């Protein structure tokens, strides 16, 4: 029962911190001003994701101190999360060259992999494959891509928060409904979901404060690290987490692929993701954010369970679950140049 009380305190702490950060941002005029690349039209305070960071890092310390989660996992998440949050915070309040940001991203990724003993085995069509040292390269690329795609996908009210809560809830349900009694795989995503829920109260459409790079990058690498930790308990769960992250992975990857093929400067800001086109088509952010919620619950979660419990091969489950998302990306013109009139 004390775990549920702790999660309530994490959510409440995040909510109060977000309120305080919003007051601070308003008093110092730290506003996100709409421009041609924006998906919003009203100046809005930014930097609220720091509340998620502080709440979750505090939760990691407490859970590690109490012995409720493995210390090495706590060190992996705390170190990488703090580094990425500080890097994002500095970039939010100034500018850090892309090459230095990328260097910091890879350093944080290798930190995670060092403390988690590299990538867990991948199960390919029922055959466990030990990646060895190659796993460090694959794992680093995976974590850095998740980190950056979360930045890319945090472009309309509530979408990044809803995605994180859905993914964490799916991960928690997988553990809770299995016979695996791993407190780390259960409590760490539960705590992250609670921290994001407290922030979402202020970020739900129409948002009263934005997350900022400090929060979105932090969520990206935390979700990636949690997926690797879950896979160390049950290798099938890696595929389950990839399925749960499907909305963001498909939209961001499809968009990036199209822009690369066209020769665009991929590090420049744009608004050509499918979710951004959808929000402009419907004139509001709320329908798109709610659609992401429904896709996660009604489509991706059942496939994640089917794979997680071994009823379906992971690769096959990933393909089946992603196919409609690819269709949606095409329908909503992900990666296309925006028409100007």
DSSP 49: H
Please give the C-alpha separations between residue 34 and each of 37, 155, 325, in angstroms, as whole numbers.
Answer: 8, 12, 29
User: 23-36 burial, b if ≥16 CB within 10 A, otherwise e?
Assistant: eebeeeebebeeee
The label of the residue with tokens 């934005």 reads: 210
Helix 246-262 / helix 274-282 crossing angle, nearest 10 deg: 100
219 sits in which H/E element: helix 212-233
The residues near 4 (Cβ < 8 Å, ≥ 6 apart) are none
151 annotated ligand-binding residue: yes
Q: What does the alpha-carbon distance between residue 294 and residue 300 come to, in Å, rounded to a whole number?
A: 9
Q: What does the alpha-carbon distance between residue 160 and residue 289 come to, in Å, rounded to a whole number?
A: 9
Name the binding residues for Mg(2+).
Answer: 151, 213
Name the binding residues.
Answer: 151, 213
């Amino acid at each position: 029962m004390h775990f549920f009380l702790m999660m309530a305190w994490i959510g409440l702490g995040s909510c109060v911190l977000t309120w305080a950060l919003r007051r601070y941002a308003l008093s110092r005029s730290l506003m996100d001003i709409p421009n041609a690349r924006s998906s919003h039209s009203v100046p809005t305070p930014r930097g609220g994701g720091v509340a998620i960071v502080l709440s979750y890092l505090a939760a990691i310390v407490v859970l590690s101190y109490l012995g409720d989660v493995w210390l090495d996992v706590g060190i992996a998440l705390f170190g990488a999360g703090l580094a990425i949050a500080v890097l994002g915070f500095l970039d939010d309040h100034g500018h850090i060259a892309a090459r230095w940001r990328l260097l910091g991203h890879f350093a944080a990724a290798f930190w995670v992999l060092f403390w988690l003993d590299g990538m867990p085995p991948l199960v390919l069509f029922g055959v466990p494959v030990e990646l060895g040292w190659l796993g460090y390269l694959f794992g680093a690329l995976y974590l850095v891509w998740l980190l950056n795609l979360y930045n890319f996908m945090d472009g309309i009210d509530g979408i990044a928060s809803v995605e994180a809560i859905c993914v964490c809830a799916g991960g928690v349900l997988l553990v809770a409904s299995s016979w695996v009694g791993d407190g780390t795989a259960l409590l760490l995503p539960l705590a992250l979901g609670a921290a994001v829920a407290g922030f979402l109260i202020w970020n739900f459409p129409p948002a009263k404060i934005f997350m900022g790079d400090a929060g979105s990058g932090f969520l990206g690498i935390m979700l990636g690290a949690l997926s690797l930790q879950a896979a160390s308990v049950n290798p099938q769960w890696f595929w389950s987490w990839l399925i749960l992250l499907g909305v963001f992975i498909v939209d961001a990857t499809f968009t990036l692929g199209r822009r690369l093929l066209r020769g665009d400067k991929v590090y420049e800001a744009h608004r050509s993701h499918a979710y951004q086109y959808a929000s402009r088509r419907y004139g509001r952010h709320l329908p798109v954010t709610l659609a992401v919620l429904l896709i996660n619950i009604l489509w991706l979660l059942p496939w994640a369970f089917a794979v997680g419990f071994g009823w379906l091969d992971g690769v096959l489950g990933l393909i089946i679950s992603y196919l409609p998302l690819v269709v949606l990306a095409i329908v909503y013109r992900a990666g296309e140049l925006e028409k100007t009139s």
